[in-house]
């Protein structure tokens, strides 16, 4: 790759650290020194950079708001939300998210080894080498599945290698989580790369996200050791026909144990296809197998709108979402809300004290009832009136709490009367000025 600096326009330095590059040093947020362009896409560029304070190399994906298409915006938002929760030695680490009004800066682990695809393109691996990489891949995929995350686009191009030769899964832009599973217990979005797609996706009747990932892992293992893909055809419909029927052949140099193992991974019937647990117990897989140690953070259920509530400080993704200038929801979605739909502010009161004050107001109101839960969330609804208002609180620091109020349904007049003229006044005692979250702040995870 050329070592010359990329030919692009660098914004002039702005006030302080608020999301601007400085021409004379090529620094970002006074935190990172930008080194070189690694790659670019339709809406983003990826740079190699170094932390000014630690000297650590990082990769920074810079997402341009003006170039984001509607059909890719939700993928970006989900990728950020998922990656920040997946801490595993074989998954690319997300360090922090920075933002300005026009751009999102995703700071990730930098991996010198490049894509696994590039290594496979140079020639096939022997079984021991292929097994080592496959063991690491299964560790990462199993970890994702244990947290209700399904990658859905596993392929060598989305797998990176670090300087020590270890595998790292990346690119969660097409991933799904348990919140997307329908009532039939299946996922239904058609996605993935043609040569790696599982046969059950082709029939468009719903699929198990875990079994789809396992199929893709089988394709990757085959490619690592054979040096080519099991299903190939220049005609895409003919390719899909081979995948659906499971028509592939193993080269003669593969061991019988590996051939049998692949047959269980590339089983066209997802019900009898190997699970992660069955993979780990297979004799071919277990040769020289070492359990990967990784930090456990308890049970994880992916709920993008209900994460990290009680007892935790807000992380970067949450804070950016709450800031008018750094609002990721408005960056990715069509924002139509107005001041009549709600507001956010910061209070010095504790969540428990805020709940008490809200109860004091609601208890004297007729036709209104209050529901609370352990996550500092309250629902205020009309017993007979078609009205619903939600109030949620998030810990910002030890002394500050973000109060988020939303009118979900009902007349604006009733919301204004109840919230702005009664509850809000109760929560804003004299001398306690409201502290609005200011835009153009750089926030770290």
Q: What is the pLDDT of residues 70-107, one digit of tens each?
A: 556 666 777 788 887 788 999 999 988 887 777 888 89
**What are φ and ψ of residue 194, in 5° steps?**
-50, -50
Closest CA to 345 of 408, 445, 420, 410: 420
CATH, residue 94: 3.30.200.20
The predicted pLDDT at position 297 comes to 47
The predicted pLDDT at position 286 comes to 94
Give how many domains the chain has, as a whole number.
3
The answer to whether residue 308 scores a pLDDT higher than 80 is no
The predicted pLDDT at position 169 comes to 95
Same domain flag for 177 and 258 = yes
What does each C-alpha distance from 132 to 114, 258, 291 come to in angstroms? Answer: 17, 13, 12
The answer to whether residue 273 scores a pLDDT higher than 90 is yes
Same domain flag for 33 and 168 = no
The predicted pLDDT at position 190 comes to 62
Same domain flag for 98 and 140 = no
The predicted pLDDT at position 186 comes to 64
Reported confidence tier of residue 251, pLDDT bands at 50, 70, 90: very high
The predicted pLDDT at position 259 comes to 97
The predicted pLDDT at position 376 comes to 83
Same domain flag for 349 and 206 = no
Same domain flag for 335 and 263 = no
Select from 93, 109, 125 the last residue of a domain: 109
- Cα end-to-end span (Å), the chain: 31
Same domain flag for 135 and 52 = no
- Residue 8 in domain: no
Same domain flag for 124 and 264 = yes
Measure CA 108 to chain center.
Answer: 12
Sign of CA dihedral 13, 16, 21, 26: positive
Same domain flag for 120 and 202 = yes
- Residue 164 in domain: yes
The answer to whether residue 429 scores a pLDDT higher than 70 is no
Same domain flag for 126 and 82 = no
- Residue 83 in domain: yes
Give 16-54 pLDDT, tens digit per residue. Answer: 333 344 444 588 888 899 999 988 877 788 999 999 999
Helix axes 209-226, 127-146, angle to 10 degrees: 170
Tell which wins on pLDDT, 371 or 330: 371
Select from 89, 109, 129 the last residue of a domain: 109
Same domain flag for 350 and 239 = no
DSSP-assigned beta bridge partners for residue 191: none
The predicted pLDDT at position 183 comes to 61
- Residue 35 in domain: yes
Catalytic residue, candidates 153, 171, 213, 267 = 153
Q: b or e along 203-226 (b: 16 or more beta carbons within 10 Å of the residue's beta carbon)?
A: eeeebbbbbbbbbbbbbbbbbbbb
Give 148-197 pLDDT, tens digit per residue. Answer: 889 888 999 889 999 899 999 998 877 777 666 666 666 666 666 788 99
Least confident of 6-20, 184-198, 367-381: 6-20
Please provide the average confidence, as pLDDT, over all residues in the chain: 76
Same domain flag for 70 and 166 = no
- Residue 4 in domain: no
Instruction: Please give the Cα distance from 333 to 226 (Å, whole number).
Output: 44
Percent of the chain topping pLDDT 90? 31
The predicted pLDDT at position 161 comes to 92
Reported confidence tier of residue 441, pLDDT bands at 50, 70, 90: very low
- Residue 434 in domain: no
Reported confidence tier of residue 412, pLDDT bands at 50, 70, 90: confident
Number of alpha carbons in the 13 Å side-chain half-sphere of residue 219: 28
Q: b or e along 379-404 (b: 16 or more beta carbons within 10 Å of the residue's beta carbon)?
A: ebbbeeeebebbbbbbbbeeebbbbb
- Residue 128 in domain: yes
Same domain flag for 33 and 177 = no
CATH, residue 228: 1.10.510.10
Reported confidence tier of residue 4, pLDDT bands at 50, 70, 90: very low
- Residue 302 in domain: no
Reported confidence tier of residue 58, pLDDT bands at 50, 70, 90: very high
Reported confidence tier of residue 324, pLDDT bands at 50, 70, 90: very low
The answer to whether residue 384 scores a pLDDT higher than 70 is no
Top-ranked range on mean pLDDT: pick from 155-164, 254-263, 338-347: 254-263
Select from 109, 134, 169 the last residue of a domain: 109
Domain boundaries, position 32: 21-109
The answer to whether residue 211 scores a pLDDT higher than 70 is yes
Q: What is the pTM of this model?
A: 0.63
Top-ranked range on mean pLDDT: pick from 208-217, 324-333, 366-375, 436-445: 208-217
CATH, residue 352: 3.30.310.80
153 annotated active-site: yes
């Amino acid at each position: 790759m050329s070592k010359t600096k990329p030919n692009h326009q660098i914004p002039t330095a702005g006030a302080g650290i608020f999301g601007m590059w400085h021409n004379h040093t090529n620094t970002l947020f006074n935190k990172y020194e930008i080194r070189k362009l690694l790659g670019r896409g339709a809406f983003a560029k990826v740079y190699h950079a170094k932390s000014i304070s630690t000297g650590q190399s990082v990769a920074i994906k810079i997402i341009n708001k003006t170039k984001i298409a509607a059909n890719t915006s939700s993928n970006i938002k989900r990728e950020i939300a998922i990656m920040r929760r997946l801490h595993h030695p074989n998954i690319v680490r997300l360090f922090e998210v920075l933002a300005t009004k026009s751009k999102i800066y995703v700071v990730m682990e930098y991996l010198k080894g490049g894509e696994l695809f590039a290594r496979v393109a140079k020639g096939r691996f022997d079984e021991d080498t292929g097994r080592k990489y496959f063991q690491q891949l299964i560790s990462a995929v199993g970890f994702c599945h244990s947290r209700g995350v399904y990658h859905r686009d596993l392929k060598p191009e989305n797998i990176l290698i670090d300087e020590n030769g270890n595998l790292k899964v990346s690119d969660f832009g097409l991933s799904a989580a348990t919140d997307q599973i329908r009532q039939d217990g299946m996922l239904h979005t058609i996605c993935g790369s043609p040569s790696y797609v599982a046969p059950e996706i082709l029939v468009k009747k719903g699929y198990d996200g875990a079994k789809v990932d396992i199929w893709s892992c089988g394709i990757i293992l085959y490619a690592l050791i054979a040096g080519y893909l099991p299903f190939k055809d220049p005609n895409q419909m003919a390719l899909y026909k081979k995948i659906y029927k499971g028509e592939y052949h193993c080269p003669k140099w593969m061991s019988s144990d590996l051939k049998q193992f692949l047959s269980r991974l590339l089983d066209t019937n997802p019900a009898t296809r190997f699970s992660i647990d069955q993979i780990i117990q297979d004799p071919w897989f277990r040769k020289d197998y070492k359990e990967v140690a990784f930090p456990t953070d308890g049970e994880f259920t992916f709920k993008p709108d209900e994460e990290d509530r009680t007892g935790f400080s807000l992380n970067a993704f949450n804070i950016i979402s709450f800031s008018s200038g750094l609002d990721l929801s408005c960056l990715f979605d069509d924002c139509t809300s107005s001041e009549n739909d709600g507001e956010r502010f910061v209070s010095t009161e504790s969540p428990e004290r805020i709940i008490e004050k809200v109860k004091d107001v609601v208890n004297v109101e007729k036709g209104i009832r209050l529901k609370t839960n352990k996550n500092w969330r309250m629902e205020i609804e009309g017993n007979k009136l078609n009205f619903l208002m939600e109030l949620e609180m998030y810990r910002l620091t030890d002394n500050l709490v973000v109060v988020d109020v939303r009118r979900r349904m009902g007349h604006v007049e009733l919301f204004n009367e109840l919230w702005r003229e009664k509850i809000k006044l109760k929560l804003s005692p004299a001398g306690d000025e409201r502290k609005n979250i200011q835009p153009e702040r750089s926030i770290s995870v």
